[in-house]
Structure 1
Amino acid sequence: MTKIPESIGQLSNLTKLHLNNNQITSIPETIGQLSHLTGLDLSSNQITEIPEAIRHLSHLTGLDLSWNQITEIPEAIRHLSHLTTLYLHNNKITKIPEVIGQLSNLTRLCLGHNQITSIPEAIGQLTNLRGLSLNNNQITSISEKIGQLSYLIKLYLDSNQITSIPETVGHLSNLTLLCLESNQITSIPDTFGQLLNLTTLYFRNNQITSVPAELGQLSNLRCLELHKNEIGFIPEELGQLSNLRELDLSENQITKIPDAIGQLSNLRELDLSENQITKIPDAIGQLSYLRKLYLNNNQITEIPKALSQLSNLIEADFDNNLITQILYPIKLVSSSTHDPCSSQAFIPPESREVQFNWRKAVRGHDYLMGSL
């Protein structure tokens, strides 16, 4: 289907219209005659413009125009006072109009994968918003007004050009997921410690130099991603994250693992690869639920006996270190079954088999004790 007929306006009792995944290039003005319409889905077409007639769809609660070629959000959209969901992601939109703030019933707004450069202050008027997606745009700053979105649960601002985060983000008390990866952020505000409902925090691929101690207050946090930054130090306070399941601090400049790491009693996955770590603390043996451990590409010289306590460990990687000693008998199982140089299995009989990617540390030995 390439065209919506003008006669569509005669369907005066129509409440829902789905014309997604076609080759429609335009929306006729007669669409405005569908006064009872509550749901309109025109996603995945080739539409370039939203007609002014959309202002007449006063009962519309859901509008999906994602995956088109729309370049502008018209002022007329302010008349859609009952709108709760607006999907405009994957278009060519360059600007969010101030009138967006008049959509007071909006709960979900998706504008990811566009060419938007700024967030208007009017965004703060969307006080019923639960989900906001502005990822994959060209945004350079976050409006302080975003802190007024007190009901917001999920916020996606990844893959932009953001350099700083306003302190007001700490006011988002209901936030459970915050994604700010792939930006140019250099610091995390101390106010993040107020996000007590946060369970998932993504800061991968930024320029962050330090982790604020206040993050230790996020008692509900389950996933913390800080991969590929410029962090040199892990604060002891992170040990307070008793519900943390995944911690990724790979590709940073960390030199030491604090003993407080052993307090992360629910941790399942720990990635500290590609840092400058020289020693594994015995405290790591307290991570009884740990299943995956990555410490490859560091400057570690020995594997402590404490590792034998990790009875749930199924995968570990110590490639490209300076290991000369293993302080406990280990049977290694390589992750590669095709490498003739890899060693095979294990940390004593009572433990589970662990998959080690440790070809440089051990060459052709089945059981090892002490110095290599």
Structure 2
Amino acid sequence: MKIQCTVCVVNRSLPNVPTNLRKKPCKSTLAICRNPKNEEYCLMLFSGQSKTGTKYSLKTNIRQILTRFVNEGKCTVQFINPEHDLCIQGDIISVKGFLHLLKRVLEGKVSHKELTVSSMSVTPVKSKDIAPTKLVITKRSEYPLKGFPRALESLYINDIQRCALDKGILQLYKLRVLNLSNNLIEYLPEELNKLSNLRELNVSRNQLGKASPRQWQWLDGSLWKTLNLLDLSHNDLNFIPEQLAKLYNLTTLHLSHNNLKVLPVGIGNLRNLKIFSASNNSLSILPGSIKKLKLQTIDISSNNFAQSMPNGAGIYPKVLPVCTLKEYSAKKVLWARIPYSKGSLPTTLVDYLDYAKYCVCGKACFSIYLRQSHNLLLSSISELVSRSVEDGIFVPIDCYFCSLKCLSLASYNRHRNPVIR
């Protein structure tokens, strides 16, 4: 039996070797074989660093086998002589099958017919045998009929008129980049949020505008802590779900060339956001929470922003009523950025949390709040601003206030600072 995997060889006899001088993990072939002459079993390691192969005896030579992370496709085999640790990482099923056979070999439960191949019959790893980590598909004829390699880290499926996401992609747990631009995809499955390593998702130039609100549940799950780039441009979108504000680690967000009239109220929660574009939409006002952002680039050109908006200056309502216990609890969950889903909390509470309003101070508010429109100088939140010449230098923002204190502070700052008016 042989498997393709990534192996890092650690020499325990050299514990003081600096980390930067140690051998790095490399694509390898691991094989368990039996010598037909003396009928002893051994493990062979072939890699680009050792094309002739390294032989490790198995009989009374295993110090320990570490399988704590076997469900992630990782394990470590420690040998007595030489003092080597083989840190193995590969496909979960392959690694588990390899460990199962290794256990049977050590227990003497393997028949001679199962492993009759000598060490010479195991061929060294070749480039064509190494599972690819990147796959680019630009023609229908290039689409894999037997499924995708499990080791894929980058997958590009572009301009082949795909109407739906292949379920095989949902099994690529190592995937970091997924580019599905220029297709006919109308919605993404909820299971997409289980790709815990996904960093970039590009679904531009598709038909996500046809998706119902329930078909945006893929925004939940593990994506809130991993996704850095999201491109939803050119999708004829009429709305963006409020759940978008849960993607706290987004650094790049593209919403250009859609039919958006409003943006999610909690967009200011994306505090790591650096590049934001929402040009060529129908926006007339931005959420007040956008004041919390510190961007490098913002592009909101070709929208319908008014030149000035009533700001309600000098209007101070009566003291707000006391919030309910449910609202106080929900505020605490969102302020602490505690992850939640329909599986962890009652559905009614999840829906309540998803549609929160956000004060300019960053705190959530639900049924108890104040609301006013202000004007914001975009250069105060972004180093580079792209806008049409006729749009002017200010943009109206719809502000929510969780208390009279926040409203008073905002009014005071407006009079002292021309950035907000």
Per the normalisation by structure 1, the TM-score is 0.50
Greater share of helix: 2
Higher relative contact order (CA 8 A, sep 6+): 2
Greater share of strand: 2
Per the normalisation by structure 2, the TM-score is 0.44
Larger Rg: 2
